[in-house]
Structure 1
C-alpha cells in the first residue's frame, strides 16, 4: 500500500509545475489544522503555541540545549526559595504602541491561576500566591512553596505576556516579531511584521498560515510554489521524493518532538498495568521508525529529550523492546485468554486524520493483533479528536509532545493527580501517591544533581506503571521553497524560522 502510494505521488512531486506567486512579499506556511487559541495562556495544541509565540513573548527562552535564557526578563533573582524577582526589559512595546511594564507581566501570571481565564496550564501556577509590580519594570512573584519548574513554565510556547487586564476574549495584542491581523478558522491566519520590534526584526513583511488538512495537497503546494514552508507535516516518503526537486529545500535537525500513546487508566481494561505493559512490548518501534519515518526518528524511553540532564538512560529504567511473547504472557497473567480466533480483548485507538498518524495507527493495529488485541481505529478531524482527549472520552489515543517535554516539570503537568483536565494534561487520569510525592520533591528541589536523583526514581516508577507509551523523538524536518533562505529549524520544532527567513532575490527555477 505504502509503496504504491509513493509511486503515485512521486511523478506529481517531480513535475515541472512551478508557478509564480501572486504576492512575492508574503511567506505562505501550510499547516494541518487550525490553532485552537493563539493566546498562549489558553492555547495548548502545537499550532496555537507555535503561531502564538510569534505574536506573544515569554519572560525566558529555551536555547538549543533546553537551558533557560533571558528574554522579556533581562534578569531574575531568587532572594529566598519563595520569591522570584524579574527585571523586565525596557523599551519593549505592544503592537498597539503601548509600553510593556511589570504590571502587564504580573497580570499575565496572575491570570493563569486566578480564574480570569480557563486554561489547563493553570496547574503549573498553583504554587503562585501572587505576582505584583514592585517597580515600573520589576515584577515580584511570591510562592506558597518552592517551585523549581516555575521558570520553565514562563518560557516560550508555554507562556506569553498580554496587556494588563486581558481576559479570555481579549484582542490578540502582544510584543512579538509579528502582529496578528486576522484568522478564519479552518482556513488561515494572517500576520504582519512588527515594524517596531525591540529585537532583530523579521525579514519578511507578511505571513499567511494556511490550513491544508491533506498531506499530499501540502506537498504539491510546496512543489508548485503556491506555498513556501511545511514544518513536520509531510510523510517522510514524500519528503524523500521531494529532495530531488530543484525548487525545494529540506532542512533536518535533531528534535525533541515525542510521539506517544496515552492510556485511559480509569478504563476497566487499561487500569491493569500488565495490559499497558503488554501493549508496549507488542509494538515494534524500530521497524516503524524505519518503515514510516525513514529513520528520521530515535527511540524514546523517557518523555525528556535525548541528552537531557534529568533523562533516564536505557539501563536506568525498564525499557520496552519488541517482545510479543512477553506481551502474550502479560495478557495471560491479567486473565485475558485467547478465543478460537486468537483474540484476547478489544480496544479502541483514537487519532486525528493526519495521514502519518493514521498510518501509524494501522501498523500498531496489525502488531497488536499479533498478541491477541483487536484494536478498533477511530480518526476524527483534530478539533473533535482533541475535545475527546481532553474530556477523557478515549481508551487509547496517539499524539505528540512538542516543547512541553523539555523540562521535568512535564511530569507534574501530565501525571500529577491534581493535573486532571482542565487544571493540567493528565488526560489518562493516572494517579499514584508515589508519583505525586516525587513530583512534589522534584518541584521543591533547586539543586540539579539532587533533582536528577528524584526524577530518575520517578521515571523508574512510570516505566513500571506505563500510563503512556513513549515511542520516539522525531527529527525536525522543514521543507521549503528554494526562494527562501536562512530557514533555521529548532530542536523544539517552533516557527522561529519565520524570524530569520529571507526571500531570495532570484529563486531557483
Structure 2
C-alpha cells in the first residue's frame, strides 16, 4: 500500500503500504458495463442494467508490439521479492521473477519452476525443479538457487514481509541436483499454496550474494527467470522491463519488446494519460473515471476476479468497542450499500464476510451451502443498532476513527462510519493522518494508541480463507487490536494442520463463524479488480493474480 493509507498482510513483519493503497477512487454513482465475457453483477432494481461484468480474458493479441507504457500509482521502495507485499512492486515483479508454483488468473494453482511436488509425510514437501531454465544473466537454475531464495524469508537479518509463511519450517535443503526438500515442524496446509506467491520466488543465489544490500534497488535490480528482465529504473519517474528471449515457457513468451512503468500518483493525471494515449493502460482505475473511461475512444475498461474486502479494523478492544454487541451495532448502522454507490462508483457488493466467496472454491459443496445458510449477517438497521448499543451503556463515549485525505473513497467511508457511530450514540472523532503515518498503523503498535478504528483493503495471496483468518490468531502481527478467542485459535490451528479438503474447509468455517460473531474487524464491501487497456493493446486477463502471474507477457497488438 503505497501512496495511500496502506495495510499489511496476513503474514507478519513489515507489510507497509499494502492492502489499502489500491484504488484511488472517488465519489461516483455511475453504473458500468465493461466486459467481453464472464459473470454479470446486476444492479438492484427493476429494469436496471448490469453494474459490472467480470471478464476472464480480454481479446487475444493479434501480434507482437515493440513496447507499451503502463501507469502505476506509486513508485516501489524496492523490488526485492522478500519485501514485495504491495501493488506497485508486485505487479512489476510478477513479470520478471517466478515462483515454484503459479497462481493463475482463475485463482487455481499449477506447477511452474517446480515441475511437480509431493507431500510424502505431513511435515515434508519435496519439489522437483524444472531443468533447462535460465536466469536473465544466462546462468542455469539449480536447486541451490531455490534453497538460497527460500531461506531468506525466515532469516531475521533479511526481515522478510513473508516470514510468517515460514513459521512452521524446520529446514530447506537440496536433496538432489534438481530437488529441494522442505521439512516442517508440524503440518501446515498453507505452506505449499504460498509457493505460488512471493514466498516461493526464486532468484539466482550468486546474484543475491553479489548484490547484497543493493538487491532490488534501482542500482542493483534483480536477475530472475521471467518473460521480462529488469532493464532500468529512473527514481521518481519510471522503471523499464525488456523482453527476455531465453524464457523457458513458450506459452508465456512476451509479445512486447519492452514495458515502461511510469509512476503517476495523481488520479486525475493517470486518467488524463489514459485518455490522451500517453500511457497504454493501468490497474486500479479511479472509480470517479469509470463513466468517462466506459465511453472513451481511447480504450476499454474491464473488471476481473478479486479477493479484496474493505474492512474497518477495530484496533482498540478496551474502549467503547470492547463488547462484540457494540461492534455489531456499529456495523448494522453503517450504510454499506451507500458506500458502494458513492465511494466505489456502484461497482462492488456489501461484504457479509472477511473473505470473498471465491476463497471457498476448494471446499465441498455441502460446506459452501452450510456457510451461506449459517452466516451471521448484519443488515442495515440504525434504529435497532441504537437499541443494541444502548444495552452496553456506551452513549456519549468517544470513538477515534483514523483516516488519510488521499482519495474521496476513503473520505466517504470514514464519514459513513462516523455517521454510524453517531447513530448508535457514540461521539466520533476523525483523526486525519498523513499517508506515511497511516502506514505505521500496520507496522507499529505505538502508532495505534488512541485509535479505535482504521480502514484497510485486505486481499489474500492464496485461494484459501485461512490466508485471512490466520491473521487474527492470538499474537499474530496482523491482529492489530490484540483480539483473542481460544475457540477461534483452535479452529485456525486445526485448519493449518489439516490437508484433507473437507476437514480443512470445516475448520475454516468454524473460524469464520466465530470471527463474524465477534467482529474483530468489520467487513464493509468487496469490489472487482479494474484495468484499463488503451486502443493499441489487448490480451490481459483481469484478475488479482496479476500480483504474481506474468500478465504483461500476454499483452500485444490489437488486430
TM bucket, shorter chain: 0.7 to 0.9
Q: Once the 2 structures are TM-superposed, how far is the Cα of residue 183 of structure 1 from its aligned partner?
A: 3.4
Q: Once the 2 structures are TM-superposed, how far is the Cα of residue 493 of structure 1 from its aligned partner?
A: 5.0
Q: Once the 2 structures are TM-superposed, how far is the Cα of residue 326 of structure 1 from its aligned partner?
A: 3.2
Aligned residues: 477
- Please state whether the residue corresponding to 2:308 is helix, strand or coil: strand
Closer, same or farther in 2 for the Cα pair 1:379/1:503, shift >3 Å?
farther
Picking from 174, 181, 190, the partner of 2:224 is 174
Greater displacement, 408-417 / 198-207:
408-417
- Please state whether the residue corresponding to 1:477 is helix, strand or coil: strand
Picking from 195, 204, 211, the partner of 2:263 is 211
Greater displacement, 372-381 / 284-293:
372-381
Determine the structure 2 residue equivalent to 1:19. Answer: none
The structure with higher relative contact order (CA 8 Å, sep 6+) is 2
**Partners of 2:28 and 2:343 within 8 A in 1:** no
Picking from 306, 327, 332, the partner of 1:281 is 332
Picking from 456, 469, 480, the partner of 1:399 is 456
Closer, same or farther in 2 for the Cα pair 1:181/1:90, shift >3 Å?
same
CA distance in 2, matches of 1:184, 1:329: 57
Determine the structure 1 residue equivalent to 2:123. Answer: 82
Determine the structure 2 residue equivalent to 1:263. Answer: 314
Q: Once the 2 structures are TM-superposed, how far is the Cα of residue 413 of structure 1 from its aligned partner?
A: 4.4
- Please state whether the residue corresponding to 1:404 is helix, strand or coil: coil
Determine the structure 2 residue equivalent to 1:326. Answer: 384
Q: Once the 2 structures are TM-superposed, how far is the Cα of residue 447 of structure 1 from its aligned partner?
A: 0.7
Q: Once the 2 structures are TM-superposed, how far is the Cα of residue 481 of structure 1 from its aligned partner?
A: 1.0
CA distance in 1, matches of 2:130, 2:166: 23
CA offset digits 1:131-169 (Å, max 9, x no partner): 111111100111111111111211135542122273664
Q: Once the 2 structures are TM-superposed, how far is the Cα of residue 373 of structure 1 from its aligned partner?
A: 3.7
CA distance in 2, matches of 1:106, 1:293: 43
Determine the structure 1 residue equivalent to 2:346. Answer: 295
Picking from 270, 275, 292, the partner of 1:223 is 275
- Please state whether the residue corresponding to 2:515 is helix, strand or coil: helix
- Please state whether the residue corresponding to 1:436 is helix, strand or coil: helix
Does residue 473 of structure 2 align to residue 416 of structure 1? yes
Greater displacement, 80-89 / 491-500:
491-500
Q: Once the 2 structures are TM-superposed, how far is the Cα of residue 4 of structure 1 from its aligned partner?
A: 9.8
Picking from 184, 188, 212, the partner of 2:238 is 188
CA distance in 1, matches of 2:522, 2:532: 29
Q: Once the 2 structures are TM-superposed, how far is the Cα of residue 283 of structure 1 from its aligned partner?
A: 1.3
Closer, same or farther in 2 for the Cα pair 1:373/1:228, shift >3 Å?
farther
Determine the structure 2 residue equivalent to 1:56. Answer: 97
Determine the structure 2 residue equivalent to 1:315. Answer: 373
Q: Once the 2 structures are TM-superposed, how far is the Cα of residue 89 of structure 1 from its aligned partner?
A: 1.0
Ranges in structure 2 where 5+ consecutive residues have no aligned partner: 1-25, 31-64
Closer, same or farther in 2 for the Cα pair 1:224/1:86, shift >3 Å?
same
**Partners of 1:476 and 1:493 within 8 A in 2:** no
CA distance in 2, matches of 1:138, 1:207: 34
Greater displacement, 323-332 / 311-320:
311-320
- Please state whether the residue corresponding to 2:239 is helix, strand or coil: strand
CA distance in 1, matches of 2:541, 2:457: 21
**Partners of 1:50 and 1:157 within 8 A in 2:** no
CA distance in 2, matches of 1:428, 1:37: 29
Q: Once the 2 structures are TM-superposed, how far is the Cα of residue 411 of structure 1 from its aligned partner?
A: 3.8
CA distance in 2, matches of 1:289, 1:371: 21
Does residue 542 of structure 2 align to residue 484 of structure 1? no
- Please state whether the residue corresponding to 1:117 is helix, strand or coil: coil
Determine the structure 2 residue equivalent to 1:240. Answer: 291
Does residue 520 of structure 2 align to residue 467 of structure 1? yes
CA distance in 2, matches of 1:374, 1:168: 48
**Partners of 1:132 and 1:139 within 8 A in 2:** yes
Picking from 441, 444, 452, the partner of 2:497 is 444
CA distance in 1, matches of 2:492, 2:428: 33
Does residue 357 of structure 2 align to residue 357 of structure 1? no
CA distance in 2, matches of 1:182, 1:377: 42
CA distance in 2, matches of 1:5, 1:458: 35
Determine the structure 2 residue equivalent to 1:251. Answer: 302
Closer, same or farther in 2 for the Cα pair 1:202/1:381, shift >3 Å?
farther
**Partners of 1:93 and 1:196 within 8 A in 2:** yes
CA distance in 1, matches of 2:27, 2:184: 57
Q: Once the 2 structures are TM-superposed, how far is the Cα of residue 482 of structure 1 from its aligned partner?
A: 0.7
- Please state whether the residue corresponding to 1:240 is helix, strand or coil: helix
Superposed, 1:426-441 pairs within 5 Å as: 426-441=479-494
Does residue 180 of structure 2 align to residue 139 of structure 1? yes
Closer, same or farther in 2 for the Cα pair 1:228/1:62, shift >3 Å?
same
**Partners of 1:30 and 1:218 within 8 A in 2:** yes
TM-score by length of 2: 0.79
TM-score by length of 1: 0.86
Closer, same or farther in 2 for the Cα pair 1:314/1:433, shift >3 Å?
same
CA offset digits 1:197-255 (Å, max 9, x no partner): 112221112222222222111111100111111212311x4111221121121122242
Determine the structure 1 residue equivalent to 2:36. Answer: none
CA distance in 2, matches of 1:409, 1:4: 34
Picking from 336, 339, 342, the partner of 2:394 is 336
Q: Once the 2 structures are TM-superposed, how far is the Cα of residue 325 of structure 1 from its aligned partner?
A: 2.3
CA distance in 2, matches of 1:374, 1:52: 45
Does residue 559 of structure 2 align to residue 502 of structure 1? no
Q: Once the 2 structures are TM-superposed, how far is the Cα of residue 468 of structure 1 from its aligned partner?
A: 1.1
Does residue 183 of structure 2 align to residue 161 of structure 1? no
Q: Once the 2 structures are TM-superposed, how far is the Cα of residue 352 of structure 1 from its aligned partner?
A: 6.5
**Partners of 1:127 and 1:145 within 8 A in 2:** yes
